[in-house]
């Protein structure tokens, strides 16, 4: 029988992969966006599992909101990546060092 702990471990692992993806990956801006998406999926897993075990619908409603906003966020993220690509012909995250102090 799966318990809440199992789901929280799963979401913890997803979250860790996402965060590691943002910090370790220095190559590709699209992989950054995927990592961000993974973090939000980890959050959703947590909410839905908790909502089921607590028998409370609030968590599932929250997950729907998170999904919607994640879609909007990624749309804006991709638009920004396109802007960056147009001006410098690369989306390699390591090359983003023009603004420095």
Partner 1 sequence: MSVAQEMILMLPEIVLVVGACFILLCPRPLAWPLTMLTLAAAVGAMLATAPDAPILLMSGMFERSAEVDVLRILICVLTVLVLRYARGYPVSSDRLQSNEFYTLATFGCVGMFLISGAEHLVALYMGLEILALSLYPMIAMVRDDGRAGEAALKYFVLGALASGFLLYGMSLMYAATGTLHIGELAERLGQMETNRILLLGTVFMLAGLAFKLGATPFHMWLPDVYDGSSLPAATYLSAAPKIAGLLLLLRLFGDGLMALAADWTTLMMALAVLSLLLGNLVAIAQTRIRRMLAYSAIAHTGFVFLALCAGSPKGMGSAVFYTLVYALMAAGSFGMLLLLNARTTAEDIKDFKGLNHSHPWLAIMVLILMFSMAGVPLTAGFYAKLYVLQAVVEAGLWPLAVAAVLLTVVGAYYYLRIVWYMYFEEAERPAEPGEDLTHVFLVSANALVLVVIFAVPQPWLEMSQRAAGVFVGGQ
Interaction of residue 10 with partner 1, rule CB under 8 A:
no
Instruction: Compare residues 1 and 78 and give the one whose CB is closer to partner 1.
Output: 78
CA 28/CA 77 separation, integer angstroms: 13
Interaction of residue 67 with partner 1, rule CB under 8 A:
no
Closest CA to 16 of 42, 46, 37, 47: 42
Contact residue for partner 1 among 17, 54, 67, 71 (CB under 8 A): 54
- The Cβ of residue 60 has, within 10 Å, a number of other Cβ atoms equal to 14
Residues that bind partner 1 (CB under 8 A): 4, 8, 11, 15, 18-19, 22, 29, 32, 36, 39-40, 42-43, 46-47, 49-51, 53-54, 56, 58-59, 61-62, 65-66, 69, 72-73, 76-77, 79-81, 83-84, 86-88, 96, 98-101
């Amino acid at each position: 029988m799966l318990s809440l702990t199992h789901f929280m471990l799963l979401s913890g692992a997803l979250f860790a992969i996402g965060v590691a993806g943002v910090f370790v990956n220095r190559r590709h801006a699209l992989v950054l966006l995927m990592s961000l998406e993974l973090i939000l999926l980890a959050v959703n897993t947590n909410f839905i599992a908790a909502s089921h075990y607590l028998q409370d619908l609030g968590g599932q409603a929250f997950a729907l909101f998170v999904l919607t906003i994640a879609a909007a966020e990624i749309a804006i993220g991709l638009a920004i990546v396109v802007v960056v690509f147009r001006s410098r012909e690369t989306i390699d995250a390591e090359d983003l060092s023009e603004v420095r102090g």
